[in-house]
Amino acid sequence: MRRLAAAGTVIVVESEGQSFEFRRRSRGTGVLGCLTGRARLGQLRDGPAIPPEEWGGLAP
């Protein structure tokens, strides 16, 4: 099963009314890894992304 999953095959095992899927899991770069190299930090403005007047009850 490990060799099949490594080759890209999805293995479905059904037992006692339940289904289980086994597949190769790719290594991710984290939650924001897809944004790597896309932010231009030199062009960010100072201050919060949401103006304080829009904070409502969350304002300090």
Q: pLDDT by residue (tens digit) across 28-38?
A: 666 666 666 67
Task: Check if the beta carbon of residue 59 is closer than 8 Å to that of residue 51.
Answer: no
Cβ partners under 8 Å of residue 59, min gap 6: 52
**Rounded Cα distance, 6 and 25, in Å:** 9
Residue-wise pLDDT tens digits, 43-58: 777 877 888 888 888 8
Q: Is the whole model's pTM more than 0.85, yes or no?
A: no
21, 28, 30, 43 from 34: Cα distances, Å: 26, 9, 8, 20
Instruction: List the end-to-end C-alpha distance of the chain, in Å, as a whole number.
Output: 55
